[in-house]
Structure 1
Amino acid sequence: MEARPVAFVTGGASGIGRATVLRLVDDGFHVAAADRDSERLDDLAASRDHITVHTVDVRDQASIARAMADYPEIRALVCVAGIYQPRAFEDITMDDFRLMLDVNLLGVFAAAQTVLRRMPGGGRIVTVSSRAAIGGTNFAHYVASKAGVIGLTRAMAMELRPRRIAVNSVAPGFTDTPMTRSMPPEQYTQAQALEPSGMAADPDDIAGAIAFLANPATRFITGQTLFVDGGKSLGGLGP
């Protein structure tokens, strides 16, 4: 039986990352899931065949390299790992801002640069940005980090065109994940009510878009950002 192509997913232990790992397995990949949460990684590995797990901090490029060294060839990289911290602009500290950039932006750079040593022509890199990249209140450092992911995605797409490596981003809207569920319940309910459908996206909704862009058949799509937010980013006046 032909070996499965390998996909490497950062932030794969929960939420959008976990849904993406499971979807890529269903699509025929062997998935290497990387995350800081070793307990959730073990649970993920036990849930399905064709998953291997690695405890990795995306701020540490050496730890990413050690995990990727197990795979001679990686056909797809999905960068999901990220953090979120609501805070009024005037209350954001320099340390807050640095941490947000270190995880959400430099973590993408570190994984993408490292994977290129193992990614053949025709490979796929999918970053996860956010609808927040177009603006928002009370998390300016998060907005800046996700806007940076979109810019980095476009720059990588241009530079990697000669190698036929497509680089795209998925920008989720408000999604039901452990991260958003960490909000106070009343804040979560208010956020849901602002969505066009009146509800949060399911992680599987985002994973479907990621899987589409990770598919080898999408060879002519690169440098794009796909908003998966139920249409909220369209703006305009609702009914």
Structure 2
Amino acid sequence: MQATQPLVGKETAFITGGASGIGRATVLRLAEDGFRVVVIDRNALQVEALVAELVQAGYDAVGHAVDVCDRSKISALIDAEARVDVMVCAAGIGPSCAFDAISDEDFRAVLEVNVLGVFIASQEAVRRMKPGGRVVTVSSRAALGGGGFAHYVASKAAVVGLTRAMAMDLRQRRIAVNSIAPGFTDTGMTRAMTPAQHAAASALEPAGRPAEPHEIANAIAFLASPRTSFITGQTIFVDGGKSLGGLGL
């Protein structure tokens, strides 16, 4: 689904899970910031529509309908670009399920997308990155704990740990690796909740509402910028302050 040819002098950002939710908002924000954006997502129709929208608006964009866990395809699409400056790992799944009802298959599926997918995309990117490259993972406030989705909580806690480990391994190469941990955000994933569940969850937020995807994308863009490349190994919670506690919530 290539829409334009890569420009050698232009910074290029890859975004997994880039066709919807936080990933889509990040694609739009990074395109506005002047990056060539490479959209990676399993949903071919959404990828095609987003790339067409970006190109029509005059942005430099390309899209690939690829599973983030397919290493050979991830490797090939990265090789097709002239440069690798930023990798944003936003692909993820988060089904809700009581702890005693989670099957082995369910647990493995969540870990595969949320952790292995981050590992593969990050590793393939940093193998080609020059000093000054940036990796931004998307973890979650759920890394602090939560009920009803233990497999998701475990996966996002793993992303935080993986982010720190990557940052330590890559700091001598001057590649920055950080994570954004969103709180409850209004995406297709959370809209899968019943209206009553969504309203109840929103009411528990300090602002009385979920975050909008663009609010999370703004934080991702901060860490994706070459101006913040001295920050590494950090996890920034973007949750309206709920993770601070002390609000009676």
- TM-score tier (shorter): over 0.9
Q: TM-score, normalised by structure 1?
A: 0.97
C-alpha displacement of 1:4:
1.9
Q: Which blocks of at least 5 consecutive residues in structure 1 are unaligned? A: none
Q: Work out which of the residue numbers 105, 113, 117 in structure 2 matches 1:103.
A: 113
Equivalent residue for 1:62, pick from 67, 72, 87: 72
- Residue of structure 2 in register with 1:21 after alignment: 27
Among 233, 236, 239, the alignment partner of 2:246 is 236
Q: Does 1:166 align with 2:176?
A: yes
Q: How does 1:139-150 map to 2 (within 5 A)?
A: 139-150=149-160
One-letter amino acid of the counterpart of residue 24, structure 2? R
Q: Which amino acid aligns with 2:239?
A: D
Please give the alpha-carbon distance, in whole angstroms, between the structure 1 residues aligned to 2:152 and 2:187. Answer: 17
Partner AA of 2:46 in structure 1: R
Correspondence 1:132 to 2:148: no
Write the distance in 1 (CA, Å) between the matches of 2:82 and 2:165: 26
**Residue 32, structure 1, aligned to residue 74, structure 2:** no
Q: 2:4 is matched with which residue?
A: none
Deviations 1:130-177 (A, max 9, x none): 000000001000000000000000000000001100000000000011
* Aligned-CA RMSD value: 1.2
Q: For 2:190 and 2:10, how far apart are their aligned partners in 1?
A: 33
| Structure 2 gap ranges (5+) | 1-6
Q: Deviations over 1:89-137 (max 9, x none)?
A: 0000111110010000010000011112321100000000000000000
Residue pair 2:206, 2:247 contacting (<8 A) in 1 also:
no
1:61–1:2 distance in 2 versus 1, CA, 3 Å: closer
CA separation in 2, counterparts of 1:69 and 1:219? 23
AA at the equivalent of 1:145: S
1:185 Cα deviation from its structure 2 partner = 1.2
Tell which deviates more after alignment, 9-18 or 183-192: 183-192
The one-letter code sitting in structure 2 at the alignment partner of 1:132 is A
Letter in 2 for 1:30: R
Which consecutive aligned stretches of 4+ in structure 1 deviate over 6 angstroms post-superposition?
none
Match of 2:124 among 114, 123, 132: 114
Between the aligned partners of 1:186 and 1:4, the Cα distance in structure 2 is 46
Answer yes or no: is the 8 Å Cα contact 2:16–2:40 preserved in 1. Answer: yes
Residue 62 of structure 1: how far off its partner (Å):
1.2
Cα-to-partner distance string for 1:53-99 (whole Å, 9 max, x where unaligned): 00110121112112112113110000000001100000001111100
- Which of 55, 78, 81 is residue 71 of structure 1 equivalent to? 81
Displacement of 1:219: 2.1
Deviations 1:33-62 (A, max 9, x none): 100001011110111121100011012111
**Cα shift readout 1:189-225 (whole Å, capped 9, x = no counterpart):** 1111110011010000000000000011112210000
Residue pair 1:72, 1:118 contacting (<8 A) in 2 also: no
**Matching residue's letter, 1:22:** L
Answer whether contact 1:4 1:30 (CA < 8 A) is retained.
yes
Partner residue, 1:178: 188
